[in-house]
Amino acid sequence: MKLDGSKLAVIGGAGLIGSHTVDELLNEDVSQIVVFDNFARGTHENLEGALKDPRVTIVDGDICSPAAVRDAFDGADGVFHLAALWLLHCHEHPRDGFDVNLTGTFNVLEACRDAGVQRLVFSSSASVYGDAVEEPMAESHPFNNTTIYGATKIGGEAMAKAFHHRDGLGYIALRYFNVYGPRQDYRGAYVAVIMKMLDCLDRGEAPMVYGDGTQAYDFVSVRDCARANVAAMKAGTVDRCYNVCTGTRTSISELAAMLIRLTGQKVDIDYHSEAVSFVRNRIGDPTAARLDLDFVAETDLVDGLRELIDWRDEHRRHLTED
């Protein structure tokens, strides 16, 4: 889809990936960007820079309200759907996960159809794959998911496919791997593993690693995720799912060692007995996104972690001052 002169809606646009997607879209010749968010996790601060551009407007709304979603899509050419409850929230509150991630996504799909939206980019997740059966994990990897969150993303993809075949809605689903970067939560109940390790290092304590630390993941910068979103909106393909990943394997022990070096702490890794883990290994295959979307992740993990640490330090100082 051509973005020149287009009106785009970013659902969940005040969150981690959403706000970076808004920033990336401002590099394009779009006419209007509507940020639709209920600010349960997203923040106005995340949009501070974007709101200086008159093309950006905010609509405070919830995807669980069909009328609110329908109003936000009026005249929209394309929609990015990033609103969802995260993995641990869905694990602890499965009914919430169903209501937001499935019913809310149905509301978004229905509103896209009714508004004549040309293209939807749906934020899925590598959680659909569960633990690796084979590596690297291409889009043909079987669904080995065991979580409520992963189930809602499988359901979201399936519903998008159904709306495409029933109503002609053009869509692409993006399966993000382990996303990190500036604007990541550094407070709250569902803080990611990188932030928990940095909390330990702030106190001069060794970062905790459960098990032997060999469990490995594919860490992808949020800035690359934003670029992938825009590439997917521009692409010519429809009715496809793509990995957003680097293809690089990083063990939890290697991650902890990187954070120790970057923070300059003189500590060792604190290994604990094995804890419950949803997955032990998940490394993606980026080939299809490179060929079809012309997308390649560019951010080296060390550089991305350094940027995250700098951003976090700055925001923690502001929090202390307040």
258-317 pLDDT, tens digit per residue, is: 999 999 999 999 998 866 567 889 999 999 999 999 999 999 999 999 999 999 998 877
Tell me what pLDDT residue 322 has.
47
Predicted confidence band of residue 12 (pLDDT cuts 50, 70, 90): very high
Average pLDDT, stretch 46-59?
Answer: 98
Q: What pLDDT, on a 0 to 100 scale, did the predictor assign at position 280?
A: 87
156 secondary structure, DSSP code: H
d(CA 34, CA 59): 7
pLDDT digits (tens, 9 = 90+) for 121-143: 999 999 999 999 999 999 999 99
Q: How far is CA 41 from CA 56, 107, 189, 270, 300, in A?
A: 19, 20, 11, 30, 27
Q: Which of 17-31, 116-130, 177-191 has the lowest mean pLDDT?
A: 177-191
Give the mean pLDDT of the chain.
94
- For residue 20, which of 241, 224, 301 has the smallest C-alpha distance? 224
- The C-alpha atoms of residue 250 and residue 277 are separated, in whole angstroms, by 16
Which of 163, 167, 143 minimizes the C-alpha distance to 153? 143
Peptide bond into 66 cis (omega under 30): no
Supply the pLDDT for residue 277.
Answer: 66
Which pLDDT value is given to residue 191? 61
In this structure, the number of other CB atoms found within 10 A of the CB of residue 272 comes to: 9
> pLDDT at position 187, please?
63
The position carrying tokens 């600010």 is: 39
**What is the rounded CA–CA span in Å between residue 99 and residue 65?**
11
Q: What percentage of the chain exceeds 90 in pLDDT?
A: 89
318 pLDDT higher than 70: no
* Residues 153, 23: Cα–Cα separation, whole Å: 25
Burial of 10 (0-12, 13-18, 19+ CB in 10 A): buried
pLDDT tens digit string along 69-92? 999 999 999 999 999 999 999 999
Which of the residue ranges 114-118, 135-139, 211-215, 219-223 would you say has the lowest mean pLDDT?
Answer: 211-215
Domains of the chain with bracketed CATH: 7-180+219-245+283-298 (3.40.50.720), 193-215+249-282+306-321 (3.90.25.10)
